């Protein structure tokens, strides 16, 4: 296992959350920021670059519950709060993107207990993000 994979494995260890109540936008931002900070701290402790980790908040709109939408934490607090404050938005969790030996690894993390449908949408978001990263990789921009 690579050092990055060991960090990822330790970060993901544990049980999924059991609560089913949706989080308000401020709580989502705080939870997402805390998780990203924790992951980056683990990267630093393993002598890896903490900037090799990015986080995206995954949410859906009531009008399209099977189509995940994402906002990067790096876009900032105000942008995220604005997007997540719409009355028809439900936050599912996050996608973390970690560089591991030059390859992007994307994996989901749920914030609350999700139905099978919710889990499928969160996984779909990770797959979409992974494909997007592959399409925009520097070798594909020529």
Q: What is the pLDDT of residue 134?
A: 57
Could you tell me if residue 52 is inside a domain?
yes
> What is the number of structural domains in the chain?
1
CA nearest neighbour of 30 among 92, 97, 111: 111
Q: What is the pLDDT of residues 94-122, one digit of tens each?
A: 999 999 988 888 889 998 888 899 999 99
Instruction: Report the SS3 class of residue 87.
Output: coil
Could you tell me if residue 46 is inside a domain?
yes
The CA distance from 133 to 142, in Å, is: 15
- The residues with which 60 forms a beta bridge, in sequence order, are 90
Environment class of 78 (CB within 10 Å of its CB; exposed 0-12, middle 13-18, buried 19+): exposed
Please give the angle made by the CA atoms of 48, 50 and 53, to the nearest 5 degrees: 110
Domain that holds residue 92: 3-12+23-140
CA nearest neighbour of 79 among 23, 37, 25: 25
Could you tell me if residue 96 is inside a domain?
yes
Query: How many angstroms separate the first and last alpha carbons of the chain?
Result: 32
Supply the pTM of this predicted model: 0.85
Could you tell me if residue 126 is inside a domain?
yes
Could you tell me if residue 108 is inside a domain?
yes
Could you tell me if residue 130 is inside a domain?
yes
Could you tell me if residue 18 is inside a domain?
no
Q: Tokens in use for 116?
A: 């099978």
- Contact indicator for 15, 112 with CB cutoff of 8 Å: no
Q: What is the pLDDT of residues 117-136, one digit of tens each?
A: 999 999 999 888 877 765 54
Could you tell me if residue 36 is inside a domain?
yes
């Amino acid at each position: 296992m690579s050092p990055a994979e060991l960090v990822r494995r330790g970060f993901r260890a544990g049980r999924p959350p059991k609560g089913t109540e949706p989080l308000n936008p401020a709580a989502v931002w705080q939870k997402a920021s805390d998780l990203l900070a924790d992951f980056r701290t683990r990267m630093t402790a393993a002598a890896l670059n903490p900037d090799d980790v990015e986080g995206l908040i995954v949410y859906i709109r009531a009008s399209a519950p099977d189509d995940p939408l994402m906002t990067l934490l790096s876009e900032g607090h105000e942008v995220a709060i604005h997007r997540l404050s719409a009355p028809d938005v439900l936050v599912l969790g996050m996608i973390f993107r970690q560089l591991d030996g030059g390859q992007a690894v994307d994996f989901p993390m749920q914030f609350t207990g999700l139905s099978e449908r919710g889990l499928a949408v969160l996984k779909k978001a990770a797959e979409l993000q992974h494909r997007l990263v592959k399409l925009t990789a520097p070798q594909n921009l020529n």
